[in-house]
Amino acid sequence: MGLISGSLTFFRLHFQETIKLSNQEIQLALDKYSFNNLFEEEKFVNYGFVPFDFPVQTDFLTADTDFDGLAVFGVRIDEKKINKKYFDIEFERMKSAFLLENGKTYLTKTDKEFLKNALNKKLLKSSLPTTSIVEIILNQDEKCIFVSALNSKVMDILEHLFRLAFEIAIYRESMIENIRKKTNNAKLIDDMLMLTPYNF
Amino acid sequence: MKLYTDKKDITFLESEFLTYLLGKYYLGENLFDTENGSFYFEASEHIVLYNPNTEEKISIESSDFNLCKEIYTALKDGKKVFELSIKVKMGSISFDITFRTEPLRIVRVNAPKSIAENLQDKVIERGLYLKEIYEIYDVLLSDFAQTRTTDDWYIFIRKFREFITNI
């Protein structure tokens, strides 16, 4: 995992709410919205919290979460994708069989939807997911979290999970927001917002 | 959730910040303080510059930016910094940080491996490095903001232009 070794590339996200949770409260929240508890087989994407050092550790109540005041854990994201070409081939097969069985010469819109849903369910069940683990560090004092991977999909997932588990709204940082937090100088921010581009 | 509704687009400040860091390095004004001590940085290894009119980007790899003529040429041509790597030295510790714009953020970090033996200590040590790296980022940003909004900016520009002209 990146936090222990290798590149320490983590992205910072912020939240405004004040939270003062004990380690036990954090563990209970993580356990409640854990990957195992949120998992549904028919979903394309499953996600939820996992302990730090997963899969060596699988149980929140026995895993280490508190590291000198920082809460460290992970988010597991399993995503199933069906290859479009394979889907199209299988759909044609199902379509031919359906027309023969039902003595039809063409599919209605309802028929097509029925077949597509049935095929999706069948292929999803048998396909393996792509799994990724995002490492998370929660710093309550500084109202920020550090995450080891970030794109729009991961951001949506994290926003959802943190809202559920901790009732906080996380957001991406901006240059101005960072300066405001560091300096606490409203006039400086006002002056920056009035600037125009400079040609070096 | 966006906290600040910008009155207008100020994303130009992102590349100005990176160009400022490059300028501070070239001018030898690259020593700063954080809560935990002083650090200095060297711009090195990797830089991406772009032409805002044509959107053409050039990527330069160099172990010594002082000797890299391509960077000076690009700056004289009015190109702006899109991505910049710096090496930060703080006491006996060194970090490599790469910044990128659109939006401004840290995209790559190399920090020392932990010398601790158990997992708890490893995580705490690396967590402290991460905290320090973002503290350094905030210090550099704040310094840029303070300079950019005062007459110190014009002093910096004059010195930087003289430096580039005399290469």
* Nearest-by-CA chain A residue for B6: A193
Supply angle C-alpha A77, A127, A36, rounded to 5: 40
| Cα A16 from Cα A171, distance rounded (Å) | 9
Neighbour tally for A46: CB within 10 Å: 19
Give B 102-121 residues with CB within 8 A of chain A: 103-111, 113-114, 119-120
Q: What is the pLDDT of residue A53?
A: 86
Nearest-neighbour CA in chain B from A133: distance (Å): 17
Nearest-neighbour CA in chain A from B64: distance (Å): 22
Q: Largest Cα–Cα distance in chain B?
A: 54
Using the Cβ of A106 and the Cβ atoms of chain B, whether some distance falls under 8 Å is answered with no
B120 closest CB neighbour out of A67, A146, A194 = A67
Tell me, yes or no, if the pTM score tops 0.90: no
Contact B141 A179 (CB under 8 A): yes
| Cα B7 from Cα A200, distance rounded (Å) | 24
Provide the sign of the torsion angle of the four alpha carbons B153, B90, B120, A22, taken in this order: negative
| Cα A119 from Cα A84, distance rounded (Å) | 12
| Cα B2 from Cα A169, distance rounded (Å) | 11
Give A 121-150 residues with CB within 8 A of chain B: 137, 139, 146
Q: What is the pLDDT of residue A17?
A: 96
Residue numbers in B near A188 (CB within 8 A): 145-146, 149
Pair A77, A154: CB distance under 8 Å: yes
Say which range, A196-200, B30-34, B96-100, has the weakest mean pLDDT: A196-200
Contact A188 B130 (CB under 8 A): no
Give B 128-157 residues with CB within 8 A of chain A: 129-131, 133-134, 137-139, 141-142, 145-146, 148-149, 153, 157
Q: Locate tokens 């069985």: which residue?
A: A101
For chain B, what percent of residues have pLDDT higher than 70? 95
Per-residue pLDDT of chain A (200 residues; tens, 9 = 90+): 589 888 899 999 999 999 999 999 999 999 999 999 999 988 889 999 999 988 888 889 889 999 999 999 999 999 998 899 999 999 999 999 999 999 999 999 999 999 999 998 888 888 889 999 999 999 999 999 999 999 999 999 999 999 999 999 999 999 999 999 999 999 999 999 999 998 77
Tokens at residue A2, please?
């990146």
Q: What is the pLDDT of residue B1?
A: 46
| Cα B121 from Cα B24, distance rounded (Å) | 36
Compute the residue count for chain B: 167
pLDDT tens, position by position, B38-71: 999 999 899 999 988 888 899 999 999 999 999 9
pLDDT tens, position by position, B149-167: 999 999 999 999 999 988 7
Provide the sign of the torsion angle of the four alpha carbons A141, A10, B13, B158, taken in this order: positive
Look up residue A63 and give its amino acid.
Answer: A
Q: Is B132 a residue whose pLDDT tops 50? A: yes
Q: Which of B26, B114, B126 to mutate to test the interface with A (most CBs of A within 10 A)?
A: B126
Residue numbers in A near B123 (CB within 8 A): 3-4, 52, 67, 72
Pair A161, A75: CB distance under 8 Å: yes
Q: What is the pLDDT of residue A100?
A: 94
